[in-house]
Structures are given as structure tokens and as C-alpha cells.
Chain A
């Protein structure tokens, strides 16, 4: 099984210092481009509702956060979870229920969904890390299917109809989130905080250990790291952030539905990450943007969307495994973007 954890992220096989100058110029160039991307992201977040339909942008941000959370696992730990829809969709139901039936204020509702996803992530993660590689993927998929059946059969989820009429409420009891702009900047704020958190995790010593596990698990083990604990913690963090994304989506659209928990959603988030670039910082955001925009643009042609999405998947795997941002980083000759 030793070959199963290698070569997940071609992005990182990096440009050797000899062909691009010293390590230092490489690093400063990386930093410059990262700065440019951060600037572009912030400018986009601030200005987007004035030239794009706000609900579209909010949907985009929810999926971008979902993909970024997923990327924490596959891109930086080397674990392919095929069941992340369970955290996204499950948290959407819990947050929706807390907001609607228990009358939670918006922030507490999001927290409830996130906590639920973290707990579920701990359960799923501690089972799934017993096996590696594709077995890991199959186990997460099967466990996510249990969550899907719960969503289908439990009395509070509304079955096929989903959980509808989730109220947006008042932020801190003051600002009504029914105003489109207020809602938008709230969602943008949630996204930004979570994205910064992911950035911090990646660049912390903890994140370095995760990457060491991704590169060579036996070596990390022999260095004395408790690999299983690191993997589990990464899984829980990723699940919780995916849950935050799902809860936010429930708040934005005011409903939670079965689609969010279906395995095809798990596939879509993989596509977003793969298309943008696994193991890159901004890749998942770019990937989510492309996929969501594609779905909007093609919504008129019915199920052909699925064919296009599937085709994109195949093309990504066969032709550009680095993804858009990964390829860009290669062209710019920098090692992280």
C-alpha cells in the first residue's frame, strides 16, 4: 500500500532552486503572487454584489469554503474523502432545524451546524483512518450514505421536500439579515474568517506535519509523530469547516435539501478542488467559481450539465492534474499559490 499516498499533489513537486535562482528569490516571488491573489480576493469580496447577483456570489462563497475545507484534507494531508457531502448537508439540516424550530439566532445556528459536523467528522474519521488510500475513500462514501438515508427518513428533515422556510433572523439581535447587502457581507465575513483560518492551519507547524504525512507517511511515523491523531484532527477540522459552509448555505437559501447530502455533492467538491488545484491555497476558490458559474450558465440545458461536469472531471484527471492554479504556479515558477 505504500504507493497509495504518493503523487496526490503534483503541484508540490516544485521547481528546483537551480533553475529559478536562489531559494530566497523563489520565496519572495511566491509571496508577491500570493499577495496579488489576496488583494484580488479582497477586492472581489468587497465589490462583487455591485456587479454580480448577490445570491449567486453567496452560493459561490459557500462552495468555495466547502472546497477549501475539503482541500485541507486531500491537498495537505493526502486523504481522499468521498463523503464530505455528509458534513455539508448534515450541518445544513442541523443549522436549519436550530434556526427554524429552536429559534436560534443566526450565529448560534451556524455554530450548531459546525459543531454537529465536527462531531460527525470525529466519528467518520476515526473509522475511516483505519484503512488507507481507496479503501479510505470507499469507507467515507459508505458512511456518508448512512447520513443520506437519515436525511431521507428522519421526521424532522422533511424527506424529499427538504427542510424549508429557514428564517435568516437578526445578526446579534441588531442587523436584519433579510436585507440582501447585509446578508451578503455577513456571508463574505464568515467566508473570510474561515479561509484565513485554513491559511493559518496550512502554515502552522501542525500543517507542516500534515504535509509531511502526505509526502511520506511511514517517514512521519518513524520521526515519532502520532500520524493517526494528526490525520483525525485534520479530518475533524475539515469536516467542521465543511459544516460551516453547509450551515451558511442553509441560511442563505433558507432551506436544506437532500441534494446537499447526496454523494454526487461529494463528487462535485472533489471536482472543484481538482479543477482549481489540489494542495494550492487559492485553487479550491477558483475551482468552485468555475463549477458554480458553469452550472449557472448551463442551467438551461437540463441534464447536459451533468455530462459537462463529468467530462470536465475526465479532462482534469487526464490532462491537467495540477488544476488551474497549480498550472499557473508552474508557469509563474513559484512553489505555492
Chain B
């Protein structure tokens, strides 16, 4: 096979791998923004929290409770951690964000920024700022798969497929089911939905929990790939914001498609002009702003 084509396909796969995380995180942001009109700056920190919880459950919990052989592996973490992060998110919503809905949305952005600083600071204190590998990758996902053009780690392939399923399910639930239609109605007109007897504050809290749970899930999935560090969400969140501006926050599908596509674009940039790989998404954002200020999938405001 032509070496350039081989390189393009290989970087495409790695780009898709990053795109998975962009898609899942911007999806969570879009869900939260849709119902609450809140831009959750803490999303990156909650992703980091998810990765750390997986690490703690696997490596530290046993030591802390005095039974060093005790550990919770990857598969249970995949369910447990998102639930824990979602609970944490719901606490933030219930006790902090709820007080700010009547004000300018900028205040909730600032509040979640404060939450980010606290979480980052705490984890830098208790864990090394430089990062720790997560050793709990399950045996069944170790090794590589031959894709014809490259040997691709089995685990990364699993992450790509798993995330596509998750994104599809979320899209389906929100756009095609009764729960989803109530949710969307709640974003359009909370007063009216309240009048139908639906507990809107509870719905808002659960939605926020769901969005943050998605960030936690992305964190667990990321743990075996990237090293788990307190700052792993810090730069990612800004990329996610750019993804959101490019996609436009109007639609769930837009968030997912843009996330995957930008991962691929980043991968291709690595092939053709590597120094720009860090900034290409931001440059794309500039171009999109000039051409379509509401984003590719955005509805005009």
C-alpha cells in the first residue's frame, strides 16, 4: 500500500480516537446547555474526575480501606464511575447552579470555572500533577487488531465503537422518545411544561447529572489511553468549546458529528503540517465564525 495513504488512514484512526472524546464531551455540554442554558466550564474537570475515580477504584481504594487485594476493575467502573460523577454533578446543580438561573448565564459559567479550579487544585495536591497510568485495562481488550493498513490497539477500537453506540443512544433518547420530547419541551417553555404536572426542577437536575455522567464516562474510557493527570481536562475543555462554536449548540447530532469530524481534521493536520495540529481546530473556528456565525448546525438566534 502507498505509504502516504497508509499514514493518512493511520492518523485518521488516531484522529477518530480523539474525536470520540470531543463528541462525547460536546454532547454532554449540548445536553446541559439545551435545557439549562448553562455552559458547564467544569465539564473538562468532571472528565478528569471520571478518569481519576476509575484509577482510585482500581489502585487506591483497596489500600485506603486496608485490604490491598481489593480493587474494582474496568468493566464495573464503566458503570459505577459515570453514576458517581453524575451524583456529584447533581449536587453542584442542586446547591449552586440552581441559585443562578434567574441571572445572566455568565454567572453559571464563572461558577463552574470556580468548581474547575477547586477540583484541579485538590487532585494536584493528592496526586502528582504529572500523571499516573491506569493499569486496569481488561485482559480481553489488550493486544492489537490488524486493520490491513496498520496494527490498531484493540482497546482503542473498542472505545471508538462503544462511543458511537453511546452517542447514538443519547441522540435517539432525546430526539425520538417520550422522555426526550418532554426534555425538549422543557427547554422551549418550562412554565408550560410545569403546568402539565412535570417536575421541571427535578428534570433539570437529572439532565445536568446525565450530562456530567457522560463526561465521567469519557473519563473512564480515556484512562487506559492517556495518563490520568489533574490537568487532562484543562486544555481539552477549550477545544470542546471551539467544537461547540463550530458545530453550533443547536442540535445534539451537530455536537456528535462535529466532534468526530474535528478529530479527523486534527489527525489529517498531523499528516500534512504537524506544528498546526494544536491550533487547527481554533483556526477552523475562526473561519466558521466568518462564514456562518451560528455554527454549522446552529439555528439562528
Closest to B38 in A: A134
A137–B104 touching, CB < 8 Å: no
- Known pairs A8-B104, A307-B117, A318-B99; A131 contacts B289 (CB<8 A): yes
With a cutoff of 8 Å between Cβ atoms, the chain B residues found around residue A309 in the complex are 117, 121
- B-binding segment of A99-107, A227-235, A297-305, A326-334: A297-305
Question: B115 interface residue, CB < 8 Å from A?
Answer: yes
Bitwise, B272-301 to A at CB < 8 A (1) or not (0) is 000100110011011001100100000001
A133–B106 touching, CB < 8 Å: yes
With a cutoff of 8 Å between Cβ atoms, the chain B residues found around residue A302 in the complex are 124-125
Question: B55 interface residue, CB < 8 Å from A?
Answer: no
Closest to A274 in B: B110
- Known pairs A127-B286, A134-B39, A143-B282; A317 contacts B110 (CB<8 A): yes
- Give Cα A1–Cα B278 distance, bound, in whole angstroms: 32
Closest to A8 in B: B104
Q: Which of these, B100, B113, B120, contacts A313 with CB under 8 Å?
A: B113
- Give Cα A138–Cα B99 distance, bound, in whole angstroms: 23
- Give Cα A316–Cα B110 distance, bound, in whole angstroms: 10
B107–A310 touching, CB < 8 Å: no
- Give Cα A313–Cα B245 distance, bound, in whole angstroms: 25
B118–A130 touching, CB < 8 Å: no
Q: Which of these, A3, A127, A306, contacts B120 with CB under 8 Å?
A: A306
B118–A314 touching, CB < 8 Å: yes
Q: Which residues of B, 90-148, contact A by the 8 Å Cβ criterion?
A: 96, 99-100, 103-107, 109-111, 113-122, 124-125, 129
B275–A153 touching, CB < 8 Å: yes
With a cutoff of 8 Å between Cβ atoms, the chain A residues found around residue B289 in the complex are 127, 130-131, 139
Closest to A152 in B: B278
A145–B125 touching, CB < 8 Å: no
With a cutoff of 8 Å between Cβ atoms, the chain B residues found around residue A7 in the complex are 103-104
CB distance from A287 to the nearest CB of B (A): 13
Q: Which of these, A1, A4, A130, A306, contacts B117 with CB under 8 Å?
A: A306
Closest to A135 in B: B245
Question: B244 interface residue, CB < 8 Å from A?
Answer: yes
| Chain B: number of interface residues, binned into ranges | 35 or more
- Known pairs A131-B293, A142-B282; A310 contacts B118 (CB<8 A): yes
- Give Cα A127–Cα B245 distance, bound, in whole angstroms: 12
CB distance from B272 to the nearest CB of A (A): 17
Bitwise, A66-98 to B at CB < 8 A (1) or not (0) is 000000000000001000000000000000000
Q: Which of these, A8, A141, A270, A314, contacts B238 with CB under 8 Å?
A: A141
Q: Which of these, A1, A135, A142, A321, contacts B107 with CB under 8 Å?
A: A321
With a cutoff of 8 Å between Cβ atoms, the chain A residues found around residue B285 in the complex are 139, 142-143
Query: Interface size (A, Cβ < 8 Å)?
Result: 47
B110–A134 touching, CB < 8 Å: no
In the A-B complex, the 10 residue pairs with the smallest Cβ-Cβ separation, listed nearest first, are: A310-B117, A313-B114, A306-B121, A310-B118, A307-B121, A314-B114, A303-B124, A138-B241, A142-B242, A317-B111
- Which B residues lie at the A interface, using CB under 8 A? 39, 96, 99-100, 103-107, 109-111, 113-122, 124-125, 129, 234-235, 238, 241-242, 244-245, 275, 278-279, 282-283, 285-286, 289-290, 293, 301
- Give me 9 other A-B pairs in contact (C-beta within 8 A), A127-B290, A264-B234, A317-B110 excluded: A131-B245, A133-B104, A142-B245, A143-B285, A146-B279, A264-B117, A274-B110, A303-B124, A313-B110
Chain A to chain B contacts (Cβ below 8 Å), 23 pairs: A4-B106, A5-B104, A6-B104, A8-B106, A127-B286, A134-B105, A137-B109, A139-B289, A146-B282, A264-B117, A302-B124, A303-B125, A306-B117, A306-B124, A307-B117, A309-B121, A310-B120, A310-B121, A313-B113, A316-B114, A317-B107, A317-B111, A321-B107
